[in-house]
Structure 1
Amino acid sequence: MKPSTLAALLSFVIPGAGQLYNGHIWRALFWLIVTPGLWIGSGGLFGWVCHLIAAWTAWHKAQEHADTLTR
């Protein structure tokens, strides 16, 4: 499994886990705090959006990192 796919999967399961896997501590803390807040604050309406955005950003940052290594 590619590191970017694994990062996205981790962040989809636990928002912030993919960012932590990528080594972005502050981004991980942001998603770990914001996502549960939106799940609770919106009654579940916006929590799933945070899960998807967290997974996408983890994937995107891992792809950027992989691209810089191949240059």
Structure 2
Amino acid sequence: MQKNAGLAAVLSFLFSGLGQVYNGEIGKGVIFMVAYAISALLMIVIIGFITTPIIWIWGMIDAHKSAERINRRYESEQRIS
């Protein structure tokens, strides 16, 4: 099933990992959620101020690219059928 890459990115913008879950990549989404939570806790010791935005942005980009990859795979399977 095709995925909306823009929606995947917006979902990850709203909550890190949610775009991956939308794409059907549940494990990856949970990893992003846990990494983001740990990074947010690390703000107590300053390093989180660096890692949290990186994980957040990486999650949005990954969700978008994963949706595009899923769509390309879906389209190639439709041509074969």
Gaps of 5+ in 2: 77-81
Question: What aligned pairs does 1:14-29 form with structure 2 within 5 A after superposition?
Answer: 14-29=15-30
Larger Rg: 2
Q: Does residue 7 of structure 2 align to residue 6 of structure 1?
A: yes
Three-state SS of the structure 1 residue aligned to 2:50 is coil
Letter in 2 for 1:23: G
| 1:24-52 CA distance string (max 9 Å, x none) | 11001100100121122124221011000
Partner Cα distance (1:47, 1:36) in 2: 8
Identity between Structure 1 and Structure 2 (%): 24
User: Please, what is the CA RMSD of the aligned residues?
Assistant: 1.3
> 1:9: Cα distance to partner?
0.9
Normalised to the residue count of structure 2, the TM-score between the two structures is: 0.79
